[in-house]
Amino acid sequence: MDRTVRPWLPPVGDAVSNLRFWLRIMKEHSLFIALGLPPNQAALIFEANSFMQLFEALENRALAPGFAVSMPFIQETMLAVARLIEFKRGLIRMAVQCSLGGSLYPSLLDHITREAMHFFRLLEMLQCPSQPISPVHAILAVEAFWLRLMKEHTEFIVGLLDPSERGLLGKAEGFRSTFVALMQTANELSSMAESCPASFRTVQRFTEDVVTNTTMLRDFKAAGTELLLQCKVLSVISTPVLGDHIRREADRFLAEIAAIQPGLEVGIPTK
């Protein structure tokens, strides 16, 4: 694992809910990889399916009644995630060297690798809880991480819809522009917050804007998932699970904001 770049990001919510959420996400990434690989890559498809089974088994254990987070479970999960990250990186290498084929964008592979790295860091933090940090820095870290992912989701949607789906493509393009701008602002505000101002009320206003737009994007993804399930939309999306997956990620982003937002009161110092 590359530990040189480790932007701080707090685990929001309890350890069990984090584990359940991210284990399901890892399982589904493995499914998307298996579905997107070309048929001649049988060994890689087999490996992707093995990862799907591995994460499904871990998820089932985490979902069992009475499950409690233990160090051995965290370490076992870290090992599995580290292996999945290496697998995804191997696919990125093949994709950028034009030796992969199939329908997995290099950007999509990179996106799901970053999500796995984020999960790995959360697991590290569950092992050794980090120092408390101000709500301003916490929310900006959450926003910088998730806004990039939301922006990329809109780009994947644009790339996967049939060209005849002009209405949906227009909406997705609109979201893309919005989230490019929000992502840029989050990075700028994060940079300013490094000066540790006594209060930073613009972050409150910005966060309200983020919540409004992410809620709209979440609803768009939910409506799109319904269309996929009813076979009422033309696309090359391999499974409706993808629609539900990115909808759940938007909901997770909103939940993480909601957990920190009440702390963003006027006058709360950032240090």
Q: How far is the CB of 123 from Fe ion (least distance, A)?
A: 16
Residue 115 or 143: the one with the smaller Cβ distance to Fe ion is: 115
Q: How far is the CB of 109 from Fe ion (least distance, A)?
A: 11
Q: Are the C-beta atoms of residues 247 and 215 closer than 8 Å to each other? A: no
Q: How far is the CB of 245 from Fe ion (least distance, A)?
A: 6
Q: How far is the CB of 267 from Fe ion (least distance, A)?
A: 35
Residues 238, 240, 246, 249: is their CA dihedral positive or negative? Answer: negative
Q: How far is the CB of 155 from Fe ion (least distance, A)?
A: 11
For the purposes of burial, counting CB atoms within 10 Å of the CB of 70, is it exposed (0-12), middle (13-18) or buried (19 or more)? exposed
Amino acid at 130: S
Residue 25 or 44: the one with the smaller Cβ distance to Fe ion is: 25
Q: How far is the CB of 242 from Fe ion (least distance, A)?
A: 9
User: CA angle, corner 108, sides to 59 and 240, nearest 5?
Assistant: 60
Residue 244 or 249: the one with the smaller Cβ distance to Fe ion is: 249
Residue 119 or 200: the one with the smaller Cβ distance to Fe ion is: 119
Q: Are the C-beta atoms of residues 52 and 30 closer than 8 Å to each other? A: yes
Residue 137 or 248: the one with the smaller Cβ distance to Fe ion is: 248
Q: Are the C-beta atoms of residues 260 and 139 closer than 8 Å to each other? A: yes
Residue 199 or 213: the one with the smaller Cβ distance to Fe ion is: 213
Which stretches of the chain bind Fe ion, using CB under 5 A? 25, 115, 149, 249
- Please list, residue by residue across 133-150, b when 16 or more beta carbons sit within 10 angstroms of its beta carbon and e when fewer do: ebbbbbbbbbbbbbbbbb
Q: In which residue are the tokens 């101000």 written? A: 134
